[in-house]
């Protein structure tokens, strides 16, 4: 078991949401809320760090009852494409995938009978309504807008494109898109049925490095909790990286530490109570 030998001293704790901070019922337990509040009272920044859009992340930030404090001021959204300042009610850092790249991805995934989504004003935008396009909107509790002339939407660029589909197909699609785009985009699976296309050199880790530089926090004091491939960059860049017990084996091998309990067993709170607070 990869556990710390002594107490850890983070100054910023970054937390993935799905399958990390949240239970399988998409809830933050009271124990976890209490734990994060104690950490914030010690002056530690608590930063939710998710692939979800701003409104979806902010709903959970408000549940922590920290958004009015300096320690709860920031969230990272869309897998690092946006850093949002809750006090200013606006993004302070943002990246986009170009319209040219989005159009080429759209042309390619149509060959596999897959339909992508993009995001505008915390709305899921897609050309057709089907079980896969609905899945993303349902998970994030976001409205969905159907726009048949989808190419016009894509021309403007977007922080992220989501391609949802059967898990048995997506690895082949991912390989093909990586071959097609090279370093022009970041491509990964956040869940077996979600394939995400992000701006180049963009990820949760890159956004966190930008934020800690802004806050004058040394990188050695960065802690990050995650479970999946969209957490890889922050697991790599946080010296105090923590993988969830329920996480992918690849992420657990990569992380400095692994929680003793799963997301359904207050794994984050258990780790913080034992090794930080």
Amino acid 59: pLDDT = 92
What radius of gyration, in Å, describes the C-alpha atoms of the chain? 18
Contact 51, 196 (CB under 8 A): yes
What's the rounded mean pLDDT across residues 138-165? Answer: 88
Residues 6+ apart with CB under 8 A from 11: 43, 44, 45, 217, 218, 221, 222
| pLDDT bracket for residue 147 (50, 70, 90) | very high
pLDDT in tens, 30-72: 999 999 999 999 999 999 999 898 888 999 999 999 988 999 9
Domains of the chain: 12-95+202-275 (3.40.50.1000), 99-198 (3.30.1240.10)
Of 69, 23, 26, 28, which is closest to residue 46 (Cα–Cα)? 69
The SS3 of residue 259 is coil
| pLDDT bracket for residue 210 (50, 70, 90) | very high
Strands of the 123-126 sheet, one edge to the other: 144-146, 123-126, 115-120, 161-164, 194-198, 186-191
Q: Is the pLDDT of residue 207 over 90?
A: yes
Predicted TM-score (pTM) of this structure: 0.86
Distance, in Å, from the CA atom of 180 to the CA atom of 58, rounded to the nearest integer, reads: 35
Amino acid 16: pLDDT = 98
Distance, in Å, from the CA atom of 269 to the CA atom of 257, rounded to the nearest integer, reads: 14
Distance, in Å, from the CA atom of 185 to the CA atom of 196, rounded to the nearest integer, reads: 10
Amino acid 275: pLDDT = 97
pLDDT in tens, 87-140: 999 899 999 999 999 999 999 999 999 989 998 877 889 998 888 878 877 777
| pLDDT bracket for residue 1 (50, 70, 90) | low
Contact 191, 174 (CB under 8 A): no
């Amino acid at each position: 078991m990869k556990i710390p030998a002594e107490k850890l001293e983070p100054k910023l704790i970054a937390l993935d949401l799905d399958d990390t901070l949240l239970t399988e019922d998409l809830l933050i337990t009271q124990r976890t809320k209490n734990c994060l509040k104690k950490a914030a009272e010690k002056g530690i920044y608590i930063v939710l760090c998710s692939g979800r859009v701003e409104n979806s992340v902010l709903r959970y930030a408000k549940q922590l009852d920290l958004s009015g404090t300096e320690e709860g001021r920031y969230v990272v959204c869309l897998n690092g494409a946006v850093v949002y300042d809750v006090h200013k009610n606006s993004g302070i850092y943002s990246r986009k995938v170009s319209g040219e790249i989005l159009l080429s991805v759209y042309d390619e995934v149509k060959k596999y009978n897959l339909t992508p989504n993009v995001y505008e004003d915390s709305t899921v935008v897609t050309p057709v309504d089907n079980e896969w396009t609905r899945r993303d909107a349902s998970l994030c509790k976001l409205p969905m807008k159907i726009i048949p002339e989808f190419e016009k939407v894509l021309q403007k660029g977007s922080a992220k494109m989501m391609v949802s589909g059967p898990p048995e197909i997506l690895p082949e699609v991912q390989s093909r898109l990586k071959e097609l785009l090279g370093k022009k985009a970041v491509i990964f699976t956040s869940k077996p049925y979600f394939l995400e296309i992000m701006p180049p050199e963009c990820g949760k880790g890159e956004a966190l490095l930008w934020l800690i530089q802004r806050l004058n926090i040394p990188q050695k004091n960065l802690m990050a909790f995650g479970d999946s491939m969209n957490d890889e960059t922050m697991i790599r860049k946080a010296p105090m990286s923590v993988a969830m017990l329920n996480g992918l084996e690849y992420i657990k091998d990569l992380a400095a530490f692994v929680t003793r309990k799963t997301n359904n067993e207050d794994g984050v709170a258990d780790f913080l109570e034992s090794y930080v607070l």
